[in-house]
Structure 1
């Protein structure tokens, strides 16, 4: 969950897992994003894919459209770190967004996004009711509590 005072905000968190990043990439990544994933050495390729994915979902959740958008039309500039300036042209939510990668532990990739013109402090909380769902490794979410992260985009 992400909260920001008086402005849209989107967040996505994904647990690292085995996935066929190069096979999945054409369905949801732009050309530069596919190159970023393909150029990453194999042990890190799933994390590279998830970096693109979480950034996309954060922007699209902030727009209120989620995965209804054409994911291949939104380039989230994975080479930019830790903040990327993203231009969103799809689903009636055109505009510039700032996307920041979040550090949620070694086994997760996460991003938060806000409109560039009004970006500021956002509070992100991860909730987990079971040890397998969300939250940082060895963190409070493993005990069924909330983990809190703050980010200034």
Structure 2
């Protein structure tokens, strides 16, 4: 199998991949923030007084930290916004642009996730390689997912 895809970085697709990768961290921050807000409201009802500082801290944790993580991750991923060529072979996945070339054997990945408009090859929860699928047919996408599964990767379908 050999597939070659050439595409520019799409900020929307990259942001979607970053959100998917950071989902556990974002959900934890949101949960902690909402817990702080709930605690402030509970204290206000039970004890009385104003706990505006705790509400603001909770809002910062629930909204600010996820925004910061996602924006920083997206900016970092878009830093090499050049035209990129992706190659998917029986040996693994490679990406190359004017600035760099990276090649990964299949065992370097833990999973591959089919997402709208892209395949996300995950090395860890926060390290991944998103590959746009706009030029691929459904049969080619299935071939890539089948090859990944054949090499022991967890495959998550859309």
TM over 0.5: no
- Please tell me the TM-score bracket, short chain as reference: under 0.3
Provide TM-score, normalisation by structure 2. 0.25
Higher helix share: 2
Q: Which has the larger radius of gyration?
A: 2
Provide TM-score, normalisation by structure 1. 0.25
